[in-house]
Amino acid sequence: MSPESRVKISPSILAADFACIGEEVTAICEAGCDYVHVDVMDGHFVPNLTIGPGVVKAIKPHASKPLDVHLMISPVDAFIDLFAEAGADIITFHPEAGPHPHRTVQAIKAAGCKAGISLNPATPIAALEELIEDIDLILVMSVNPGFGGQKFIKTQLEKIRRIRDLITAAGREIELEVDGGVNSKNAEEIITAGADVLVAGTAVFQNGRQAYADNIRALRPSG
C-alpha cells in the first residue's frame, strides 16, 4: 500500500467555533476526517492556554472518530490518566515535558491509549531512538507550537524523510503525523516526504460547515 493511499486527516479543533464545539466535532466526523485533533496547551510549556480534560470529556460523545490528543503541557505525567479517562484514544507528548519519556510512554499505554511522541522544529530525531520500539505515533511539528495559523517551516520536510526512514528500519507500524501550516497547497509534498497523518486547523475549518468535506478532500492526494 502506498503512503498516499493511507493518508489520514486529523482536523485541529483549535480552529473550530468553540461556541458550538460539539456540533463542530460532529460536522468534521461526518465530513470524512479520520481523527479529531485536540491541542492541549498550558501557557507554560507553550505560550498559549487552551483546554483541559473537561472539554475532551464533553466532545467525546460527539466524536465518531478517535480523539488524537496532543499534550503541550509540562510536567505531563500527572495529566495522562485524566485525559485517558476523559476519552482520549491517542495521547502525544513532548520528550522535553518530563524527566523520563519512556516512563511517560508506559503510563499512556497503561491508561489504555496509543502513545505518541512530538518533536518541535529544533528537537533532534535522536530523541526517538530509545523509544521507537514502544510508540505508536510520531508527530513532527512544522511550526513552533503554541498558536494556529502559522507558516509551514520547510526545513521540516527533511526531518519527515529521515523519520520515515527510521520507522521503515524499525519495521513497526508507526504513524507519522505532521502539524503546522498544513494546507492543500503543501499537503502533497508533505505526504511525499513520508507523512501519513496530516493535522490541519484553518485549512479544514474555513468557509462554513458545508465546506468541511471539500476542505478535507483537498488535503488528500486524490483531492
Condensed to tens digits (0 to 9), the pLDDT of residues 40-86 reads 999 999 989 999 999 999 999 999 999 999 999 999 999 999 999 99
pLDDT value at residue 153:
93
Handedness of CA 181, 35, 24, 144 (dihedral sign): negative
Q: Is the pLDDT of residue 144 over 60?
A: yes
Structural domain count, the chain: 1
**Domain of 165: which CATH number?**
3.20.20.70
DSSP state of 201: S
The response to whether 202 counts as a known ligand-binding position is yes
> Is the predicted pLDDT of residue 189 greater than 50, yes or no?
yes
Residue 128 structural domain = 3-219
- Cell of residue 154, nine digits: 520547510
The arrangement of strands across the sheet holding 90-93 comes to: 8-11, 197-200, 175-179, 137-141, 114-119, 90-93, 67-72, 36-41
Mean pLDDT in residue range 161-189: 97
Active site residue 179: yes
Is 44 assigned a ligand-binding role in the annotation? no
**pLDDT computed for residue 222 by the predictor:** 66
Helix axes 21-30, 212-219, angle to 10 degrees: 50
Q: Which of 34, 42, 179, 196 is catalytic?
A: 179
pLDDT digits (tens, 9 = 90+) for 194-209: 999 999 999 999 999 9
pTM for the whole structure: 0.95
CA proximity to 143, closest of 179, 191, 177:
179
pLDDT at 137 > cutoff 50: yes
Q: What integer best gives the mean pLDDT of the chain? A: 94
For 128-155, what is the mean pLDDT? 90
State what percent of residues in the chain have pLDDT above 70.
96
* 201 annotated as ligand-binding: yes
Give the contacts of 107 (CB within 8 A, at least 6 positions apart): 77, 80, 81
Residue range 88-94: mean pLDDT, rounded = 98
Task: Write the pLDDT tens digit of every residue in 97-112.
Answer: 999 999 999 999 999 9
User: What pLDDT, on the 0 to 100 scale, is given for residue 143?
Assistant: 93
Report whether 12 belongs to an annotated binding site: yes
165 is catalytic: no
Average pLDDT of span 170-182: 96
> Would the annotation count 39 as a binding residue?
yes
Which one from 39, 42, 136, 196 is the annotated catalytic residue?
39
